[in-house]
Structure 1
Amino acid sequence: MALGTEYKNWQGFEDVKEGISDIQLPLLLAKAEIKRRYRRSTLGPFWITISTAVTITTIGFIFGKIFKSPLSEFLPFIAAGLILWNFISSTISDSCAVFVQSEASIKQLPLPLFTYVEQLVIRNFYIFLHNIVIFPVVCFVTGRALGLNCFLSIPGIIIVLLNLLWVSLALGIVCTRYRDLTQIVQSILQILFYVTPIIWMPNQVSARVASIFIELNPVYHILSIVRAPLMNNQPSMLNWIVSILVAVIGWIVTIMLFNHYKKRIAYWL
């Protein structure tokens, strides 16, 4: 009896563990979904890349003139920020309906629920890999050299993925129960986009504003551990500490949430 109760209390953790052990399945599902979405498209997901490149160019030139920033510094900053933000925001937006959109599969197939979260994050990561090719092109056009520091962005991306996995799982659970929260999440993402240094640089605001919207903004720190190396800079120790702490605390809270509500998700669909 005690063993059964103990297993029930950790069923969410076991689901995540099982989903990670069979990582090949979400990889294949994500790849198949991208192919399905762009089946009759000549360029496939590269249409998103073209759209992102146009957005980066437009915003870079307009805001570069407004802030009087040199394009050799401002345009790569915008490119790295927007590409990474698009990855983060699209993953979070999609996660609100990750279980709802998979209702038929969840009710018919005995797959770990975490598999659907992995599929979602991997699918958006594939698109991110398509979009990241814009950055070296921007650097070439602006005459900015890519240094060896850019390889330091790899551990940063891993931490971003770890954060997106727990956020997607948590939002998937909560938004399945309360569908109206999806609109609130969209509004929060819009606010975060404007208060986070994505289309503006930290040195373009006063120290007081920076202390509020930068130092206390975890999204900025998560962006910085990837963007700073791409810009030939070193992320600060605070950037790493905040990003890792967010991942650790987020996973602990999410596993507790998943342990408690895993069995109810199918009934909420």
Structure 2
Amino acid sequence: MTVSDSEARDGASAIEMSGSRSWKRAFADIAAGWQQRPLWGYLGWQDIKQRYRRSVLGPLWISISMGVIALGLGILYSALFKVDIAEFLPHVAVGLLIWNFVSGCILEGSEVFIANEGLIKFLPAPLTLHIYRLVWRQTLFFAHNLVVWVVLMFVFPHPLGWSLLLAIPAFALLMINGAWVAILSGILATRFRDIPPIIASVTQLVFYLTPIVWSIDILSDNEAARERANLVELNPVFHFLEILRQPLLGQEIVWRYWIVAGVITVVGWAAALVCLRNYRSRVAYWV
């Protein structure tokens, strides 16, 4: 091979690499993944069936385990904080319901490409197909757990009104954010394998810092403690928790949380798109 041939090959490789780093291909990957809804929809449903294979109750165990945890934590913390269980148990249950979706997108998102190594290497498919599959699977889990909320609304009725309809766009916003979190953390974790354990530890910490099994209103008698508790608004998860929990419990809607959630969505997707544009073609080599 002559020097000119080697230079020509290097030049062609550079052009190919630069061509893969384009906004057009990044958005094309997102669009192509969405067009394959039958595939990732089927795979997401099979993930749940496979997890509860040979089980008598099957996916009902999702709702049962969620209900048992919510009941236990609700009774425990309502006694510790000396609050009415009729108010506090739905607060805890809905908080856990939303948190399970959020944490699922974060934890599984960090390993979404690592877990699908075989498919990525041998199946010519858009990278975002695995993201859609993950979000769809978490949505199915959420739908199963929603049974717990329905039961609690019958046992402890809340003044649900038209604001309940806001739960639909609120959950849609959660899904949209779950997608960018999975894209960003998934690509970075594929390159740096120390990231998933770090994310797992941080996620556990965020659970305790988010008012899921506790409430800011409980601290209303202590002004100093309440002021410190208001710092929870620095927690991004808090805003997504509240935009969905408030309509599900018939509480007053605080639009400030929606604004913050919208800003986080725009910033998060901007970061995810940059990451997808620059490193989408390298994921197959990193896994």
Q: TM-score, normalised by structure 2?
A: 0.88
Against the structure 1 CA distance between its residues 6 and 268, is the aligned structure 2 distance closer, same or farther, given a 3 Å change threshold?
Answer: closer
How far the C-alpha of 1:47 sits from its partner, in A, is 0.8
State which drifts further: 107-116 or 6-15: 6-15
Amino acid corresponding to residue 265 of structure 1 in structure 2: V
Q: Partner amino acid for 2:229?
A: A
Amino acid at match of 1:139: M
Aligned partner of 2:195 among 163, 178, 181: 181
| Range with greater deviation from structure 2 (259-268 or 9-18) | 9-18
> In the alignment, is the contact (CA less than 8 A) between 1:49 and 1:134 conserved in 2?
yes
CA distance, structure 2, for counterparts of residue 75 and residue 204 of structure 1: 14
Alignment partner of 1:208 is 2:221: no
Equivalent residue, structure 2, for 1:69? 83
TM-score by length of 1: 0.94
Aligned to 1:154: 168
Task: Tell me how many residue pairs correspond in the alignment.
Answer: 267
Distance between the aligned counterparts of 2:266 and 2:285, measured in 1? 29
Q: CA deviation at 1:22?
A: 2.6
Aligned-partner Cα distance in 2 for 1:133–1:147: 19
Name the counterpart of 2:94: 80
Amino acid at match of 1:125: T
SS of structure 2 residue aligned to 1:99: helix
Task: Please state if 1:9 is matched with 2:22.
Answer: yes
Q: Which amino acid aligns with 1:234?
A: E
Change (3 A) 1:7 1:106: closer
Contact 2:166–2:247 (CA<8 Å) still a contact in 1?
yes
Q: Is the 8 A contact 1:218 1:243 kept in 2?
A: yes
What SS does the corresponding residue of 1:132 show, helix, strand or coil?
helix
Which amino acid letter does the alignment assign opposite residue 222 of structure 1? F
CA contact 1:72–1:144 (8 Å) conserved in 2 = no
Which amino acid is the alignment partner of residue 184 of structure 1? Answer: I
Work out whether residues 71 and 142 of structure 1, in 8 Å CA contact, stay in contact via their aligned partners in 2.
Answer: no
Three-state SS of the structure 2 residue aligned to 1:42 is: coil
Look up the match of 2:115.
101
CA RMSD of superposed structures (Å): 1.7
Shift of 1:7: 6.2
Tell me what 1:113 maps to.
Answer: 127
Give me the whole-angstrom Cα distance separating, in 2, the residues matched to 1:54 and 1:37. Answer: 19
Which residue of structure 1 aligns with residue 7 of structure 2? none
Summarize deviations over 1:47-85 as a string: whole Å, max 9, x none: 121111011111111100111111121111111100110
Judge which range, 145-154 or 10-19, deviates more: 145-154
Aligned twin of 1:92: 106
| 5+ long unaligned stretches in structure 2 | 1-11, 220-224
Match of 2:139 among 116, 125, 130: 125
Measure how far apart 1:150 and its partner are.
1.9
**Unaligned 5+ residue runs, structure 1?**
none
Q: Pick the structure with greater CA Rg.
A: 2
Question: Letter of the aligned partner of 2:22 in structure 1?
Answer: N
**Contact in 2 for aligned 1:12/1:258 (Cα 8 Å):** yes
Q: Does the aligned pair in 1 maintain the 2:52–2:58 contact within 8 Å?
A: yes
250, 269, 274: which one aligns with 1:232: 250
Q: Which residue of 1 aligns with 2:3?
A: none
* Partners of 2:239 and 2:260 within 8 A in 1: yes
Aligned equivalent of 2:33: 19
